[in-house]
C-alpha cells in the first residue's frame, strides 16, 4: 500500500479544495493511505476530508511566505511518515512545499499547479524561472489542461515530466432530486423569470466587475432577467458599489459564499464565467453536469471544456459587450439553449468524469512509485 501526502493552499474553500477532496474520496483506499495537509484557515473543511477516510494534518501555511515552524513541521511530517508520494497542489503551496519535501527526503514529488498564470504580470518571468528551477526536484507535473501542458514545456521543462489529467466531477452530482421552484423562492427570486448565474471568487482573476457590466447590457434588453453572483473575495465591496452605481440592486443578487453552490447551478438558465485566466474551472463542469449552457472567456483550459457554439459560447476576456451578446442569444432562443445544455452534458460525461481523473491519477502514482523503486535497486 502506497502512502500519499496531499498538500495544497487557497485563501478560501473553492476549486483547490474540491479537487483535493475529490481525490480523497476517489482514490482506492485498498491501494493508497492518504494524508492531507490542510491550511488552518480552511479548518471548516476538516470534517469533509475526514469523512473521506483520510488523515488530516492542519498546518498554518500562507500564500507565499510560510513561517519557519510550519516548514519544520512539514519536514518532520514527511520524514516521520516516510511517504511514497508527496503530491503538492497549487502554485502557492508548490513554492515552499516541494523544497521542504525534498529536504525531508521525499521519495517522489508530484506537482499540480492547476493554473499557469499569476496576478502580477511584471513578475511572470520570475514565476516561469522558478517553475523551471523547481522542476529539477519534481518527479512529475500534472497539468489540468493540454494548453497549459504545452505552455509548461515551452518554459523549458522536459516534456517527459509533464502530463495532462483533466479535472473531473461525479456525474451523480446532477442526479439528486431538487425542487427548483422552492430553491428560487428561498433565495427570493421570481420563478417565472430567467436566471443568469456566475460562481466565482470575487478577485481580479475572475473579473466579476465584467459580469456586472455585462449584466447591465443584458438588462437593457431583457429587464426581467435575474443575475446571481455567488462567491466572496477582495473585490466584494467594489462589486457591490458598481451594482449600486448602476442602480441594479434589485436585478443583480450577490449571495456571498454558498456551501451548496454546485447545486444552486441547477436553477440557472445560463451559467457564465468572466475570468482573465483559469486552469480547468470546476464551475463549468458542474454547469454541464446540470445540462446548462455556458458563456465563458476563452482562456487556458476553458476552450477544452466548452465547445464554442455547441455547448455554449466562448468570448474574449474583458469584453462585456460580446459576453452580453452571447447571453442574450441564449435567452432569446430557449430551444437552442436547452440543446446546448444537453450537448454540454454529453461532453462532460465523455471527457470530464471523476472516474477518469481518478484512474489517470492512480496510474501516475503507480508509475512514479515504480520508477523510484527501480532507482533504489
Identify the weakest region by mean pLDDT among 111-115, 226-230, 372-376: 372-376
Q: What is the predicted pLDDT for the residue at 375?
A: 58
Instruction: Say if residue 279's pLDDT is above 60.
Output: yes
Residues 178 and 325 in one domain: yes
Which among 222, 261, 268, 279 has a CA at the least distance from the CA of 89? 279
Arithmetic mean of pLDDT, 341-365: 96
Q: How confident is the model at residue 14 (pLDDT cuts 50, 70, 90)?
A: confident
CB atoms within 10 A of CB 176: 8
Residue where the block lists cell 483559469: 278
- C-alpha span between 7 and 33 (Å, rounded): 14
Instruction: Say if residue 191's pLDDT is above 80.
Output: yes
Number of folded domains that form the chain: 2
Instruction: Say if residue 32's pLDDT is above 60.
Output: yes
Q: Which of 60-64, 354-358, 373-377 has the highest mean pLDDT?
A: 354-358
Q: Counting beta carbons within 10 angstroms of the beta carbon of residue 107, is it exposed (0 to 12), middle (13 to 18) or buried (19 or more)?
A: buried
Residues 154 and 191 in one domain: no
Residues 10 and 158 in one domain: yes
**What is the 3-state secondary structure of the chain?**
CEEEEEECCCCCCCHHHHHHHHHHHHCCCCCEEEEEEEEHHHHHHHHHHHHCCCEEEEECCCCCCCCHHHHHHHHHHHHHHCCCEEEEECHHHHHHHHHHHHHCCCCCEEEECCCCCCCCHHHHHHHHHHHHHHHHHCCEEEECCHHHHHHHHHCCCCHHHEEECCCCECHHHHHCCCCHHHHHHHCCCCCCCCEEEEECCCCCCCCHHHHHHHHHHHHHHCCCCEEEEECCCCCHHHHHHHHHHCCCCCCEEEEECCCCHHHHHHHCCEEEECCCCCCCCHHHHHHHHCCCCEEEECCCCHHHHCCECCCEEEECCCCHHHHHHHHHHHHHCHHHHHHHHHHHHHHHHHHCEHHHHHHHHHHHHHHHHHHHHHHHC
Q: How confident is the model at residue 27 (pLDDT cuts 50, 70, 90)?
A: very high
Q: What is the predicted pLDDT for the residue at 374?
A: 55
Arithmetic mean of pLDDT, 52-59: 94
Phi, psi of 115 (to 5 degrees): -150, 155
Q: How confident is the model at residue 341 (pLDDT cuts 50, 70, 90)?
A: very high
Domain that holds residue 233: 171-351
Residues 105 and 26 in one domain: yes
- C-alpha span between 361 and 31 (Å, rounded): 13
Arithmetic mean of pLDDT, 139-144: 97
Q: Is the dihedral of CA 176, 179, 181, 183 positive or negative?
A: negative
Contact (Cβ atoms closer than 8 angstroms) between residue 9 and residue 63: yes
Q: Is the dihedral of CA 114, 117, 123, 128 positive or negative?
A: positive
Residues 115 and 202 in one domain: no
pLDDT per residue as tens digits for the range 309-340:
999 999 999 999 999 999 999 999 999 999 99
| 151 Cβ contact partners less than 8 Å away, ≥ 6 residues apart | 116
Give the three cell numbers for residue 330: 441564449
Phi-psi region of 253 (alpha: psi -120 to 50; beta: other; left: phi over 0): beta
Q: What is the predicted pLDDT for the residue at 16?
A: 87
Arithmetic mean of pLDDT, 240-248: 96
Instruction: Say if residue 259's pLDDT is above 90.
Output: no
Q: CA dist 266 to 49, 134, 138, 183, 263, Å?
A: 25, 41, 40, 9, 6
- C-alpha span between 359 and 365 (Å, rounded): 10
Arithmetic mean of pLDDT, 230-256: 95
Arithmetic mean of pLDDT, 251-257: 94
Q: What is the predicted pLDDT for the residue at 373?
A: 54
Cα(first)–Cα(last) distance of the chain, in Å? Answer: 19
Q: What is the predicted pLDDT for the residue at 376?
A: 58
Arithmetic mean of pLDDT, 280-303: 96
Which among 18, 4, 227 has a CA at the least distance from the CA of 114? 18
Residues 177 and 164 in one domain: no
In the predicted model, what is the mean pLDDT of the chain? Answer: 93
Q: What is the predicted pLDDT for the residue at 149?
A: 96
Residues 37 and 108 in one domain: yes
Residues 105 and 200 in one domain: no
Q: What is the predicted pLDDT for the residue at 209?
A: 97
Residues 11 and 159 in one domain: yes
- C-alpha span between 73 and 93 (Å, rounded): 14
Residues 35 and 153 in one domain: yes
Q: What is the predicted pLDDT for the residue at 318?
A: 93
Residues 108 and 182 in one domain: no
Q: How confident is the model at residue 65 (pLDDT cuts 50, 70, 90)?
A: confident
Q: Report the CATH number at residue 254.
A: 3.40.50.2000
Residues 104 and 222 in one domain: no
pLDDT per residue as tens digits for the range 158-170:
999 999 999 999 9
Rg (CA), the chain: 21
What's the pTM value of the predicted model, to 2 decimals?
A: 0.91
Q: How confident is the model at residue 371 (pLDDT cuts 50, 70, 90)?
A: low
Q: What is the predicted pLDDT for the residue at 177?
A: 83
Amino acid at each position: 500500500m502506497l502512502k500519499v501526502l496531499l498538500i495544497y493552499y487557497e485563501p478560501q474553500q473553492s476549486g483547490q479544495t474540491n479537487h483535493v477532496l475529490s481525490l480523497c474520496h476517489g482514490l482506492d483506499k485498498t491501494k493508497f493511505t492518504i494524508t492531507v495537509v490542510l491550511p488552518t484557515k480552511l479548518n471548516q473543511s476538516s470534517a469533509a476530508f475526514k469523512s473521506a477516510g483520510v488523515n488530516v494534518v492542519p498546518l498554518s501555511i500562507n500564500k507565499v511566505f510560510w513561517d519557519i515552524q510550519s516548514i519544520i513541521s512539514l519536514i518532520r511530517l514527511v520524514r516521520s511518515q516516510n511517504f511514497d508520494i508527496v503530491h503538492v497542489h497549487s502554485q502557492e503551496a508548490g513554492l515552499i512545499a516541494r523544497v521542504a519535501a525534498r529536504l525531508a527526503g521525499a521519495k517522489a514529488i508530484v506537482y499540480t499547479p492547476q493554473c499557469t498564470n499569476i496576478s502580477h504580470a511584471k513578475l511572470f518571468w520570475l514565476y516561469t524561472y522558478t517553475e523551471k528551477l523547481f522542476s529539477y526536484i519534481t518527479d512529475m507535473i500534472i497539468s489540468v489542461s493540454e494548453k497549459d501542458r504545452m505552455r509548461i514545456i515551452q518554459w523549458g521543462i522536459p516534456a517527459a515530466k509533464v502530463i495532462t489529467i483533466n479535472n473531473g466531477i461525479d456525474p451523480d452530482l446532477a442526479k439528486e432530486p431538487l425542487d427548483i421552484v422552492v430553491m428560487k423562492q428561498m433565495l427570493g427570486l421570481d420563478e417565472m423569470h430567467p436566471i443568469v448565474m456566475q460562481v466565482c471568487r470575487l478577485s481580479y482573476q475572475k473579473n466579476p466587475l465584467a459580469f456586472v457590466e455585462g449584466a447591465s447590457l443584458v438588462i437593457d434588453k431583457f429587464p426581467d432577467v435575474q443575475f446571481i453572483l455567488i462567491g466572496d473575495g477582495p473585490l466584494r465591496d467594489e462589486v457591490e458599489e458598481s451594482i449600486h452605481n448602476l442602480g441594479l440592486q434589485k436585478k443583480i443578487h450577490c449571495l456571498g459564499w454558498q456551501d451548496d453552490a454546485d447545486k444552486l447551478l441547477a436553477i440557472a438558465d445560463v451559467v457564465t464565467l468572466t475570468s482573465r485566466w483559469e486552469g480547468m474551472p470546476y464551475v463549468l463542469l458542474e454547469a454541464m453536469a446540470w445540462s446548462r449552457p455556458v458563456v465563458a472567456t476563452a482562456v487556458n483550459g476553458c476552450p477544452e471544456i466548452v465547445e464554442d457554439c455547441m455547448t455554449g459560447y466562448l468570448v474574449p476576456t474583458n469584453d462585456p459587450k460580446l459576453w452580453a451578446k452571447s447571453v442574450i442569444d441564449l435567452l432569446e432562443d430557449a430551444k437552442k439553449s436547452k440543446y446546448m445544455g444537453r450537448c454540454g452534458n454529453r461532453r462532460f460525461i465523455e471527457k470530464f468524469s471523476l472516474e477518469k481523473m481518478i484512474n489517470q491519477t492512480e496510474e501516475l502514482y503507480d508509475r512514479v512509485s515504480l520508477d523510484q523503486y527501480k532507482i533504489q535497486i
